[in-house]
Amino acid sequence: MTIDRAVMAFAGVVVLASVILVLLHSSYWLLLTAFAGANLVQAAFTGFCPAARLFKLLGMKPGNAFS
């Protein structure tokens, strides 16, 4: 798995977890979804993604978007 795919999978898990937490606990968990979305948008423009850095430190192969 490349860093690109890992970042997309991680973002998807965060969004799905947020939806489940909204249904089970509180609507404030939508803030987690908003944070994940804002992080994806800023990564698209700046190329900096904290999750990509973490996956790189863990030894994942670079993809096309994050190196």
Q: Does residue 37 sit within a domain? A: yes
pLDDT computed for residue 8 by the predictor: 92
Q: What is the pLDDT at residue 66?
A: 62
H or E stretch at 5: helix 3-24
65 within a domain of the structure (yes/no): no
DSSP 28: G
Q: What is the pLDDT along the chain (67 residues), one digit of tens a residue?
A: 899 999 999 999 999 999 999 999 999 999 999 999 999 999 989 989 999 999 999 999 988 876 5
**Within a domain: 35:** yes
Question: Please, what is the angle between helix 50-57 and helix 30-46, to 10°?
Answer: 80
Give the whole-angstrom CA distance, residue 20 versus residue 25.
Answer: 8
> Residue 47: what pLDDT?
87
The count of structural domains within the chain is 1
> Is residue 12 domain-resident?
yes
Classify residue 64: in a domain, yes or no. Answer: no
Q: Are 6 and 54 in contact (CB under 8 A)?
A: no
